[in-house]
Amino acid sequence: MTKFIKYEDVKDDKFVHSIYPGDDFKFYLNYNWYWNGIAKFKNDLVEHYILLDDEVVGYVVYGPHYSDRLLENKRESIAEIYHIILDSDHHGRGIGGASRI
């Protein structure tokens, strides 16, 4: 199988909440719904689905760096990946490394 990684804008939330990192990783990050909600209010955050051969396998949120947890003090010259997650069925295949922005 050829790995073809591409990104798609999150136009609706139907896949956001079905991407699950697995029991071993779920406690190391904020939940998808958290970043999906934040991105709706912070217009400078970008949400993308990570697709592998047209199947949604992950979710990423990125944008400008903020120097505070409330995302109020923006630092224009620095970007940050806030949330990246791959579904547990796709761990260990190199998709995470290949999908870094």
Share of the chain above pLDDT 70, in %: 80
What is the reported pTM? 0.77
CB atoms within 10 A of CB 45: 20
User: What are the residue ranges spanned by the domains of the chain?
Assistant: 5-98
Q: What is the pLDDT of residues 50-93, one digit of tens each?
A: 888 878 888 889 999 999 988 999 998 999 989 888 888 877 77
Measure the N-to-C terminal CA separation of the chain; round to a whole number of Å: 23
Fold topology of 5-98 = Aminopeptidase (3.40.630)
